[in-house]
Amino acid sequence: MNTKTYSPKASEIQRSWFIVDAENQTLGRMSTVIASILRGKHKPMFATHMDTGDYVIVVNAEKVRVTGNKETKKLYYRHSQYPGGLRSTALRDEIVKHPTRPVEHAVKRMLPQNALGDAMFKKLKVYAGPDHPHAAQKPQPLRIEA
């Protein structure tokens, strides 16, 4: 018996568009579902070495919620590469200044940390408010159960 393992070809990949309303969604639980869709794990043709995922649009990112004391205790760090250049920002302040960053940061860290993950991350579109410019793609609503 000669059976071969199926491997998808780039020409066979069909990408869909999904839209997620982040209002009152828990950041981490929502991010895991989004990362899974971006990777393509919901498709039967999923392959770890290829980007088979779909596009995801996140609206109302500024209204995402977190559990416990994370709003004040969770810190985002960045460094200027100069001595003493470490800066930290609390989640609450980050949402006020850059409302899309916490969602982008959470999803990016759940994707592979290589060039393939970078390509997957480019399919994520995050918007602070309810409006987005992707109506022509006819995105399907994606329900995330809390």
Is 89 contained in some domain? no
Which residue in the block uniquely carries the two structure tokens 């991350």?
121
Q: How many angstroms separate the first and last alpha carbons of the chain?
A: 46
144: closest CA among 43, 42, 50, 16? Answer: 42
Give the span between the Cα atoms of 67 and 58, in whole angstroms.
Answer: 20
Q: What is the pTM of this model?
A: 0.93
pLDDT higher at 133 or 2? 133
pLDDT value, residue 3: 84
DSSP bridge partners of 82:
none
CATH number of the structural domain spanning residue 134: 3.90.1180.10
The pLDDT of 3-7, averaged and rounded, is: 86
Whether 87 is in a domain gets the answer no
User: How long is the chain?
Assistant: 146
Q: What total number of domains does the chain contain?
A: 1
Q: Is residue 9 part of a domain?
A: no
Q: Tell whether 86 is covered by a domain.
A: no
Mean pLDDT of the chain: 95
Residue 37 lies in a domain: yes
Q: Is residue 13 part of a domain?
A: no
Distance (Å, rounded) from C-alpha 6 to C-alpha 95? Answer: 43
**Whole-angstrom distance, CA of residue 130 vs CA of residue 141:** 13
Domain holding 125, by residue range, is 19-64+116-141
**Residue 67 half-sphere exposure, CB side, CA atoms within 13 Å?**
6
pLDDT digits (tens, 9 = 90+) for 35-52: 999 999 999 999 999 999
